[in-house]
């Protein structure tokens, strides 16, 4: 079993930055890709960014976060990061990391393991 734990969320002003981390634990981690999702109150969970675990770390982003968010990985630490800059109120949500055995795309069903989430609140 793979367990994922997010950290780094908090309260930030509009235009500010946060860096989220997601550390995998349990038995030896093995994954094809990792992703970040978010869910705001009253809304469906949505894909934010994904990254392949092998090779050069190909990335894929939701259009609304391109140029503001950056997903990265540290395979040696079994950790994935989400650097969030120029934060907007609409970025307020619980952010979840996820691990996939088959891909790193936007489909919720692609992912096999999920973290508990970390709250990000953007306020003016």
Q: What's the start-to-end Cα distance of the chain, in Å?
A: 40
Q: Which residues contact 63 (CB under 8 A, 6 or more apart)?
A: none
Q: Torsion angle of alpha carbons 28, 56, 83, 22, nearest 10°?
A: -10
Helix, strand or coil, per DSSP, at residue 70: strand
Question: How does pLDDT run across 53-108, given as a tens digit for each residue?
Answer: 888 899 999 999 999 999 999 988 989 999 999 999 999 999 999 999 888 899 99
CA-CA distance, 83 to 71, in Å (whole number)?
Answer: 6
pLDDT given at position 40: 97
Q: What is the pLDDT of residues 11-22, one digit of tens each?
A: 999 999 999 999
């Amino acid at each position: 079993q793979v367990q994922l734990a997010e950290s780094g969320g908090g309260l930030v002003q509009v235009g500010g930055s946060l860096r989220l981390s997601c550390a995998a634990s349990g038995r030896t981690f093995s994954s094809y890709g990792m992703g970040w999702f978010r869910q705001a109150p009253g809304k469906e969970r949505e894909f934010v960014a994904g990254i392949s675990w092998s090779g050069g770390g190909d990335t894929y982003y939701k259009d609304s976060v391109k140029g503001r968010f950056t997903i990265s990985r540290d395979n040696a630490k079994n950790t994935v990061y989400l650097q969030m800059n120029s934060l907007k109120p609409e970025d307020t949500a619980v952010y979840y990391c996820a691990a996939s055995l088959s891909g790193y795309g936007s489909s919720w069903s692609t992912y096999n393991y999920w973290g508990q989430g970390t709250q990000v609140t953007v306020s003016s």
